[in-house]
Structure 1
C-alpha cells in the first residue's frame, strides 16, 4: 500500500492538473513528473482521472451555451431531417464519433495505462517526440478552415488522435489540435473542437476511476476523499482560466511556444533519469 498524500501535495497536484489539462503539454505526464520529482512517489492514474472531473466541469461551464445548443440541435435533427444541415447537429455527431476511438482503446488497455505507460522514460520521450509532431502540424498546416467546415472525416481523425493521449506525455489537446492543423483547420477551430471532444472522454474516465481512487491498491500517493475534493476544486478553477487563456492565445500565437517547453522538460527529465536522481517507476 502506498503512502498517504499530504494536503500540500493535494493542492500542488490540483494546481498542476488545472494548469496543464487544456494546454498541449500533457496533464497526466506533468502529474507523474511533479509527483516523482518533488514527492518521490506517483499520485496514480486514478487520482489523475478523478481530478480531471474538475477540469471537465470547467469545460462544461465554459462551453455551456455551445453544449446546450449542440444537444438541442442534435435531438432536433435526429427526428427532423430538415435540421440536419445545421452545424450544431453535425457537431453533435462529430463529438460522438470522435469519442469512439478513445473509448475502445481506454477500455481494452486500462491496465497498461495504469502501470507501464506511466514509466518516466516513456513520458519524457513522448514529450519530445510529440513536440516534433506539434511543430510539424504548425509548420505544414494551412490554418485556413473555420470550424463550420468540419466534417465527419475530421471528427474520426481528430478522435483517433485524442486516443493517443492515453499515453502520458502525448497530451489530449496536443493530439487533437495537431490533427486539426494537419487537416487545415485554424488554431482556434481546432482548439474549440478539441475541448468539446474531450467532454465525454474525460467525464467517462473520471467517473469510471472514482471508486478506484479511494482504494488505489499501492499506486503510490493515496489521497483521502477530502483531499481529492479539494484538488478537484482547484483543478476546476485553474482549468477554467486556462481554457479562456488558450482560446485567446492561439488566435495570434503559434504552437511553437509549447513545442519548446515540451522539449526542454523532456530533456530535463531524461537527464534526471540518466543520473539516477529520480526513479522511472
Structure 2
C-alpha cells in the first residue's frame, strides 16, 4: 500500500459502540434526520443520469430511507441494504426498498467480487477509521463500470460545539472527523476513477444547546470517542458550555456547522 492510501485518522470509537448507539437510535432517528435526508437527496442528484444498475448496495442504510429511494429509482434492480447496526436493519426491513438486509462492515463487505453496479453510501463512512479499506472493498465488489457514490463528513463539522467544549475543559467531547485533504489523497490512490470530490457547508440552527444535544443523541451520533469523559456532566461545566456556545449565537439561533464531503468514483473497465 502506498503512502497515498494510508488513512491517518485514528481514535475513532469502537465499532461495537457505534453499532449499539445507532441500534438504540433506530426508532428516533427519522424524526430528527432532516440534514441526513437533504444530504442523501443531494447525493442522489449527483449520480450519473445514465446509470442503470442491475444490483445496488445501500452501504450504511440506517433506517432504510434511501434504500426505499433507490428501490423506486431503480425498480428492476436487485437491492441490498447493509448496516453495522442490527437495530437499524430490524427497523428498515419491514419498510422494504431492498430485497436483502445484511449486517456487515464497510471495511469488510460480506459480498462477492464484482457483484454490484452501484454502491451508495450517505453519511455513514465517517465512522470508518480505515477509509482506504472501504475504498479497496468498494473496488473489489464493483463490476467494471460500476460507481461508488458517497457522502461523509470532514473536519469543521460541529466546530462550534468542539470549540465551546475546548473553552471548558480538555476532554474529547465531539466526534473526530477526517480532513478533506485525506479524502483527496485516499481517493486518488484507490485505483478507482475519480469523477468528483468536493465539500459543501451546511449550517443548522437551534434555539438552545439542549435542542442540539438532544438531536445528536436521537441520531445516535453523540460523543462516542475514546478519551471522552465518563459519568454525567456537572451543572457547573454545563453552564460554562452554554455560556461558551452562546458566543456563536446568530439571529437564526445557535449554529451547528457540518462540512459534507461528496464523492463519486467509478471502477474502470
User: TM range, normalised to the smaller chain?
Assistant: under 0.3
The structure carrying a bigger helix percent of its residues is 1
RCO higher in 1 or 2 (8 Å CA, sep ≥ 6)?
1
| TM-score with structure 2 setting the length | 0.26
